[in-house]
Amino acid sequence: MGEHEDALTGPDLAAGIEISSVSPNQLIAGHAFGEPVLLTRIDDNWFAVGGTCTHYGATLADGVLVGETIRCPWHHACFDLRNGAATHAPALNDLPCYEVAVEADRVRVASKRDPGQLRAAGHQDRGARAPEKVLFDSHPAAGPVSVVIVGGGAAGNACAEMLRRHRYRGPITIIDRDADAPYDRPNLSKDYLAGNAPEDWLPLHPKDFYRDQSIQIVSGVEVQAIDTGARKIRLANGSEKGYGALLIATGATPIHLQLAGAERIQYLRSLADCRTIIEKAKSARSAVVIGGSFIGLEVAGSLVTRGLHVHVVALEKLPLERVLGSELGELVQSIHEEKGVEFHLGHTVTGIEEGHVLLEDGTRLEADLVVAGIGVRPSVELAEGAGLAMDRGIAVNEFLETSAPGVFSAGDVARWPDAYSDARLRVEHWVVAERQGQVVALNMLGHRVRFDDIPFFWSAHYDKVSIQYTGHVDHWDEIRVDGDVKGLDCAISYMVGGRRRAMATINRDRQNLETEVEMEKELLLKPPPPQTIPQETLK
């Protein structure tokens, strides 16, 4: 009996199915040897890999084939069908991969392939399969003499892993001031805060993984300075560390409110912040969330799930309107209101007292717990101190290089030239940060890969609504609605100059993913990008 036995659906592929029943490029969700398996045929080639995504377990047969890869419908991870490799985040673990036997008019999944066979197959950019164990070499034959990564969040962790996938054997050190890093930050406002997920869901990998990959994690220590000339960093404990290549992936820091009683406000960025909020929520009956941001609303939803009565106070007239438009703003507000959340929109908080939040119009809201989610600032202090070029974040070129040789930046802290929108962007998206970290790894190894992935994020509210958003626009001329927004079945296109530049969907995961693939094709048809931005010309 396999661990997935309960969830097994579709045909028993180990017993086999008739070839004539399979159309070209059809995705078949079945099972073999007690595990879910995805079987497909592309031209004359058959592929069989694990049927569920290694990120959060979506059924891959609901995804989209692109070349010899399968994209996940939920958060757009990409796997190589030839060897199961997790090539593009957010999935970090490979899929199992199976031999397929074709016998007369039947095809069957014959056996699971072993890791040795799998590593030999499927080499392409970002296509390598994760090794089980890395033999560390203090004098690596290829790549920098050593890699230091400041920040063990989405970008930093993904960079380290991708270096090892590509057989970098030199020392890799991740330094993070957060004692718990690396972990799944998006979950902090969702299932974990709601009490639906245990804390052991949060680490991105078990500790053994980093040991086996020879990735050293120095956690609970801040990096205080970078000397780009001498290629070394200084830590808060006074020690120094040299680097061959450096990634600055310091993320972002919540903006703090300045008002009377501000010391009573909780912010949510780290696991420690989340533990504090959970502790306070245990004895609280009511909460005020300040800010109608994604994180603010997710926090509101999770606190409602914990049984608190929640007020949301926000300056804007409609939550999320600036990012998603009024249609989705109204929908998200109504979903929270159905759960009992009270909105105080167009209002500001003027002070906080024991048990109460005061608004500018004299309203006093009961609040045993106050959480603010009013936005973040990129954590640029270290880069500024090192004299790197800045652009409302750390300025990087299309290879994610900063203005200093050997120094890269990725994630929430970096502003890069986005190939699809032709704008310089800095976003706060988990998948973007991880994928940038992956591209930095390749560029540290000399591959010269442009970061040109289409931005993507998701946001989840209760078990009811997950919004998927592909592309990026700050402003739009027109919004086109396809489907039924209130019925939770819609795709919203954000149009600029008559062209769709971004899409948000609810319960149309496949359409969202197909749109991302279409945007990638549009990018391929664009004239070649202008000459590389030399590091020294970064603003």
Ligand X SMILES: Cc1cc2nc3c(=O)[nH]c(=O)nc-3n(C[C@H](O)[C@H](O)[C@H](O)COP(=O)(O)OP(=O)(O)OC[C@H]3O[C@@H](n4cnc5c(N)ncnc54)[C@H](O)[C@@H]3O)c2cc1C
Q: Which residues bind ligand FES (CB under 6 A)?
A: 53, 55-58, 72, 74-75, 77, 90-91
Query: CB-based contacts of 4: which residues, under 8 Å, 6+ apart?
Result: 31, 34, 35, 36, 52
- Given ligand FES, ligand X, none, residue 188, with its beta carbon under 5 to 8 Å by kind, binds ligand X
Distance, in Å, from the CA atom of 246 to the CA atom of 237, rounded to the nearest integer, reads: 19
C-beta closer to ligand X: residue 48 or 202: 202
C-beta closer to ligand FES: residue 298 or 398: 298
C-beta closer to ligand FES: residue 72 or 181: 72
Q: Is 379 in the site for ligand X (CB under 6 A)?
A: yes
C-beta closer to ligand X: residue 286 or 470: 470
Nearest to 181 by CA among 411, 399, 382: 411
CB of 73 to ligand FES, least distance (A): 7
Q: Is 178 in the site for ligand X (CB under 6 A)?
A: yes
Q: What is the DSSP letter of 435?
A: H
Sheet (strand 465-471) strand order = 456-461, 465-471, 499-506, 489-496, 478-484
Q: Is 428 in the site for ligand X (CB under 6 A)?
A: yes
Element (H, E) at 460: strand 456-461
CB of 339 to ligand X, least distance (A): 18
Distance, in Å, from the CA atom of 270 to the CA atom of 268, rounded to the nearest integer, reads: 6
Nearest to 51 by CA among 40, 66, 41: 40
- Given ligand FES, ligand X, none, residue 155, with its beta carbon under 5 to 8 Å by kind, binds ligand X
- Given ligand FES, ligand X, none, residue 412, with its beta carbon under 5 to 8 Å by kind, binds ligand X
Nearest to 97 by CA among 112, 110, 87: 112
CB of 51 to ligand FES, least distance (A): 12
Site string for ligand X, 54-73 (x = CB under 6 A): --------------------
Among 80, 161, 176, 191, binds ligand X (CB under 6 A): 176
CB of 52 to ligand FES, least distance (A): 8
- Given ligand FES, ligand X, none, residue 91, with its beta carbon under 5 to 8 Å by kind, binds ligand FES
Q: Is 251 in the site for ligand X (CB under 6 A)?
A: yes
- Given ligand X, ligand FES, none, residue 80, with its beta carbon under 5 to 8 Å by kind, binds none
Q: Is the peptide bond before 11 cis (omega within 30 degrees of 0)?
A: no
Distance, in Å, from the CA atom of 377 to the CA atom of 250, rounded to the nearest integer, reads: 11
| Residue appearing with tokens 């801040």 | 222
Task: List Cβ<8 Å contacts ≥24 apart for 327-334.
Answer: 327/479, 327/481, 327/485, 327/490, 327/492, 328/467, 328/485, 328/492, 328/504, 328/506, 330/485, 331/465, 331/485, 331/486, 331/488, 331/506, 332/297, 332/461, 332/465, 332/467, 334/486
- Given ligand X, ligand FES, none, residue 151, with its beta carbon under 5 to 8 Å by kind, binds ligand X
Contact criterion met (CB below 8 Å) for 80 and 122: yes
Among 32, 78, 150, 312, binds ligand X (CB under 6 A): 150
Q: Is 404 in the site for ligand X (CB under 6 A)?
A: no
Site string for ligand X, 180-219 (x = CB under 6 A): -x---xx-xx------------------------------
Q: Is 222 in the site for ligand X (CB under 6 A)?
A: yes
Contact criterion met (CB below 8 Å) for 529 and 419: yes
| Structure token pair of residue 185 | 């930050």
C-beta closer to ligand X: residue 94 or 178: 178
Point out which residues pair with 128 in neighbouring strands. Answer: none
- Number of separate helices (H) and strands (E) present in the chain: 11, 36
> Where do runs of H (alpha helix) occur along 42-196?
115-120, 154-165, 191-194
C-beta closer to ligand FES: residue 55 or 177: 55
Among 430, 504, 515, 535, binds ligand X (CB under 6 A): 430
CB of 165 to ligand FES, least distance (A): 17
What residue ranges bind ligand X (CB under 6 A)?
A: 150-156, 175-178, 181, 185-186, 188-189, 222-223, 249-251, 268-269, 295, 379, 382, 411-413, 428-431, 433, 457-459
